[in-house]
Amino acid sequence: MLKFSKKVEYALISMLYMAKREDGELTTSRELSQHFNIPQELAGKVLQSLARTGCIASVQGVKGGINWRRRRN
């Protein structure tokens, strides 16, 4: 059986959660950590890694957040 680390598992959960949202709708690490009972600090680190690799887009500021970077055809 394939075994994932907690960070990989949280990254996959986060990506699936964002994929189900409306295009362009932002979410936050706090929202993800509360919804899935993930430690907020760990959720933030996972999302930072995903943003660095270009898997998600990060928007800075008071009304900022993250969303899934969808590929356009």
Q: Is 73 within the bounds of a domain?
A: no
Give how many domains the chain has, as a whole number: 1
Query: Tens-of-pLDDT digits for all 73 residues of the chain?
Result: 888 899 999 999 999 999 888 877 899 999 999 999 999 999 999 999 999 998 888 888 888 888 887 655 5
Q: Is 15 within the bounds of a domain?
A: yes
Kindly state the tokens that stand for 42: 């760990």
Query: What's the Rg (C-alpha) of the chain?
Result: 12
Q: Is 1 within the bounds of a domain?
A: no
* Contacts with 47 (C-beta within 8 Å, 6 or more apart), sequence order: 14, 29, 32, 56, 58, 66
Domain of 39 in residue numbering reads as 6-68
Are 27 and 56 in contact by the 8 Å Cβ rule? The answer is no
CATH code at 38?
Answer: 1.10.10.10
